């Protein structure tokens, strides 16, 4: 498989995507702090490589299910930045007309079957989508993103078991950022790695540096080929780290400044920038232009989204369905 940093076009696209994710989340963090955005949010700053490397291993018609920490997945799968920003600002032009907010963005047109506020909630949805594709004879695969905490939920084990039995075209991608909310993985699992849990279901379990976008792309690419050829699912554990707290209310009392500083020094974006410059694929000027363009794109998206009409509370019940 060709590496993401081997040719200028792919390297540029990869770097653009990671910077768009970073700048988007920095922008919404700022908007929230200034009281212009409400509710809560879960930022993935520091985890850009896992979202980008994974989604770049997929075709446009492949699907994903996301998590409450899903901005990066959405952007990497090709979402419109203005519509994303509008959704978080509760605007009528948002993906869910301002009703879903940060944790419930869906974009079926790009294959994003939805973020999910329930821990592990997207995993059985991915298995269901994979089953639907298999029954219909459709050549598509599904990636299910989830965190380390989700692997301790029953939904994870049930979905992986069924996917393994039926050889569903699903790739289970665990973004292991060391903490399920504030609880360390070292205390929450009886095994040393998430990847070794795959053995219980008779499927491959791969562990990869989640801050190395090329390593993630290669690992997921291998899993995608396996799923697409009818060999069934793979569990990929991407080791990464979120720089910010679990959510906006998290004061980070459970981890040290030294730990955060150490992981920040492993910035996945700076790491990829160094690689492509050292290979001569992109110049330092190219890199600076990509950073600036991402900043401008997010600024423009925020400005246009903020000018859009607010969601109308009077229309709230038009999206509610019930059966007798």
Please tell me the total count of domains within the chain. 1
Q: What pTM was computed for the model?
A: 0.96
d(CA 29, CA 17): 18
- Domain-embedded: residue 320: no
Mean pLDDT over 276-282 rounds to 98
Task: Give 3-state DSSP helix, strand, coil % of the chain, rounded to 5.
Answer: 50, 10, 40
- Domain-embedded: residue 324: no
CB 148 within 8 A of CB 98: no
Q: What domain range includes position 101?
A: 8-306
- Whether 55 shows a pLDDT value over 90: the answer reads yes
- Domain-embedded: residue 181: yes
Closest CA to 76 of 18, 7, 6: 18
Q: pLDDT at position 178, please?
A: 94
Q: pLDDT at position 10, please?
A: 98
- Whether 1 shows a pLDDT value over 80: the answer reads no
First and final CA of the chain: distance in angstroms?
53
List, for residues 196-210, the tens digit of each pLDDT value. Answer: 999 999 999 999 999
CATH code, domain with 227: 3.40.50.970
The structure tokens listed for 64 are 């994903």
- Domain-embedded: residue 311: no
List, for residues 96-130, the tens digit of each pLDDT value. Answer: 999 889 999 999 999 999 999 999 999 999 999 99
Residue 40 pLDDT class (50, 70, 90 cuts)? confident
Catalytic residues: 242, 246, 254
- Domain-embedded: residue 59: yes
- Domain-embedded: residue 317: no
Residue 231 pLDDT class (50, 70, 90 cuts)? very high
Mean pLDDT over 259-274 rounds to 97
- Domain-embedded: residue 313: no
- Domain-embedded: residue 315: no
Mean pLDDT over 296-308 rounds to 97
List, for residues 75-89, the tens digit of each pLDDT value. Answer: 999 999 999 999 999
- Whether 324 shows a pLDDT value over 80: the answer reads no
List, for residues 148-160, the tens digit of each pLDDT value. Answer: 999 999 999 999 9
Average confidence score pLDDT of the chain: 95
Mean pLDDT over 247-275 rounds to 94
271-309: b (≥16 Cβ within 10 Å) or e:
bbbebbbeeebbeeebbeebbeebbebbeebbebbeebe
């Amino acid at each position: 498989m060709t590496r993401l940093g081997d040719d200028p076009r792919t390297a540029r696209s990869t770097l653009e995507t990671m910077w768009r994710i970073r700048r988007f989340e920095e922008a919404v963090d700022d908007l929230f702090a200034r009281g212009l955005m409400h509710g809560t949010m879960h930022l993935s700053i520091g985890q850009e490589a896992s979202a980008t490397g994974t989604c770049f291993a997929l075709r446009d018609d492949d699907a994903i299910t996301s998590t409450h920490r899903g901005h990066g997945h959405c952007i990497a799968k090709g979402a419109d930045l203005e519509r994303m920003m509008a959704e978080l600002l509760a605007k009528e032009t948002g993906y869910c007309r301002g009703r879903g907010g940060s944790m419930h963005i869906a974009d079926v047109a790009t294959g994003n079957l939805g973020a999910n506020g329930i821990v592990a909630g997207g995993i059985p949805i991915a298995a269901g989508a994979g089953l639907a594709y298999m029954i219909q004879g459709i050549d598509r695969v599904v990636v299910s993103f989830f965190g380390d905490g989700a692997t301790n939920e029953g939904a994870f084990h049930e979905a992986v078991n069924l996917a393994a039995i039926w050889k569903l075209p699903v790739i289970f991608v665990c973004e292991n950022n060391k903490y399920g909310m504030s609880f360390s993985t070292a205390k929450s699992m009886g095994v040393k790695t998430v990847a070794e849990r795959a053995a219980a279901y008779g499927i491959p379990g791969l562990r990869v540096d989640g801050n190395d976008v090329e390593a993630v792309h290669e690992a997921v690419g291998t899993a995608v080929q396996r799923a697409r050829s009818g060999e069934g699912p793979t569990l990929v554990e991407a080791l990464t780290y979120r720089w910010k707290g679990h959510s906006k209310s998290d004061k980070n009392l459970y981890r040290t400044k030294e730990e955060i500083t150490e992981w920040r020094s492993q910035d996945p974006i700076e790491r990829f920038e160094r690689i492509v410059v050292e290979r001569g694929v992109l110049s330092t000027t190219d890199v600076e232009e990509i950073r600036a363009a991402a900043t401008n794109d997010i600024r423009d998206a925020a400005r246009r989204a903020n000018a859009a009409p607010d969601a109308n509370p009077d229309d709230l019940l038009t999206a509610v369905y019930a059966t007798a």
